[in-house]
Amino acid sequence: MRRVQFIEIHDQPWFPSFLRDQVTDDLQVLLNVGKPYADIVPQLREGIERAGADRVLDLCSGAGGPWPWLAEDLERSGLHVPVELSDKYPNACARGRLQSNCAHLHYRDESVDARRVPRGLGGFRTLFTSFHHFPPEQAHEILRGAVASRQGIGIFEIPGRRPLTLLLLPLVLIADILVVPFLRPRPLTRLVWRWVIPIVPLVLFFDGIVSCLRAYSRGELRSLTSGVADSDYRWEIGCIQRGFLRLPITFLVGYPPSQK
């Protein structure tokens, strides 16, 4: 199955921002239920350490992704680094919630485009469940930007063109209607968009299918890194699956030699 470049609804500028925030909120809740990204802690820690980074800059953060608990997992593994979250469309509600409940996280107010990270904004760059949003030319820009600024980068993707991943997508629709509203108390107005007019779960389901079709394979990631890096910049590409019922996670980790 070849990669398909198509649109995700919640990425579009015309999609209402209050609904976009609800979609990213629910995506975070669903991804945190089973904490699938706990499986990549060794790769993430190794990338940060090899790059000699003393902080993390998360791009395309949405509602925070796995970071509210992932930073704690990293600390328990022996690595303590501050984490700065950022997004092209910052989620204001999530920013307030995260910064009041997670002392180790900071969410930038300003819009940050992953393709053009401002100079002076350093740190090991991470993208969780978001790299597939970018077509090859833009994905190339993201990788070139990390190399040019001599920053490490870690890309971690659950979406994939795999039968198991695609078969489990209907569960996202069911869970967002029947489970998520009870995991995080929500105002009545938010329940309208899940139960009365179920735009949020339908967008999650549709965008989930598109995400899987847009996801890069390991071979495609190798093609993207070809010719991007200096001779001393290193790339590691692989796929992790810790058990039969765990979703595979494709990863791409890049880093320059540590300056420490």
As a whole number, the mean pLDDT across the chain is: 90
Q: Are the CB atoms for 6 and 210 separated by under 8 Å?
A: yes
Q: Which pLDDT score is estimated for 15?
A: 95
Q: Which pLDDT score is estimated for 149?
A: 93
Q: Which pLDDT score is estimated for 232?
A: 84
Look at residue 4 and tell me if it is in a domain. Answer: no
Q: Which pLDDT score is estimated for 112?
A: 96
Q: Which pLDDT score is estimated for 100?
A: 75
- Which pLDDT tens digit goes with each residue over 17-51? 999 989 988 988 888 887 889 999 999 999 999 99
Please name the residue that has the structure tokens 């190339």: 140
Handedness of CA 161, 165, 167, 170 (dihedral sign): negative
Q: pLDDT-derived band of residue 230, with 50, 70 and 90 as boundaries?
A: low
Assign 184 to helix, strand or coil: coil
Flag whether pLDDT at 138 surpasses 60. Answer: yes
Look at residue 1 and tell me if it is in a domain. Answer: no
Q: Which pLDDT score is estimated for 182?
A: 82
Look at residue 67 and tell me if it is in a domain. Answer: yes
List beta partners, residue 191.
Answer: none
Which has more confidence, 65 or 99?
Answer: 65
Which has more confidence, 152 or 6?
Answer: 152
Look at residue 18 and tell me if it is in a domain. Answer: yes
Q: Are the CB atoms for 215 and 159 separated by under 8 Å?
A: yes
Q: How far apart are CA 216 and CA 211, in angstroms?
A: 10
Residue 176 belongs to domain spanning: 9-255
Q: Average pLDDT of 209-231?
A: 89
- Which pLDDT tens digit goes with each residue over 156-204? 999 999 888 888 889 989 999 988 888 776 777 788 999 999 999 999 9
Look at residue 86 and tell me if it is in a domain. Answer: yes
Flag whether pLDDT at 142 surpasses 90. Answer: yes
Q: How far apart are CA 214 and CA 183, in angstroms?
A: 29
10 phi-psi bin (left φ>0, alpha ψ -120 to 50, beta other) = alpha
From the list 19, 47, 61, the residue with the least C-alpha distance to 252 is 47
Handedness of CA 108, 111, 114, 115 (dihedral sign): negative
CATH of the domain at 236: 3.40.50.150
Look at residue 2 and tell me if it is in a domain. Answer: no
Q: Which pLDDT score is estimated for 42?
A: 93
C-alpha to C-alpha distances, 95 to 21, 82, 109, 127, 244, nearest whole angstrom: 11, 15, 8, 17, 35
Q: Say how many CA atoms lie within 13 Å of 149 toward its Cβ.
A: 22
Look at residue 202 and tell me if it is in a domain. Answer: yes
Look at residue 196 and tell me if it is in a domain. Answer: yes
Question: How many folded domains does the chain comprise?
Answer: 1
Q: Which pLDDT score is estimated for 95?
A: 84
Q: How far apart are CA 46 and CA 63, in angstroms?
A: 25
Q: Which pLDDT score is estimated for 258?
A: 65
Assign 55 to helix, strand or coil: coil
- Give the rounded percent of residues in the chain with a pLDDT score beyond 90: 62
Q: Which pLDDT score is estimated for 133?
A: 94
- Which pLDDT tens digit goes with each residue over 99-137? 777 777 999 999 999 999 998 899 999 999 999 999 999
C-alpha to C-alpha distances, 154 to 147, 199, 221, 252, nearest whole angstrom: 12, 32, 12, 6
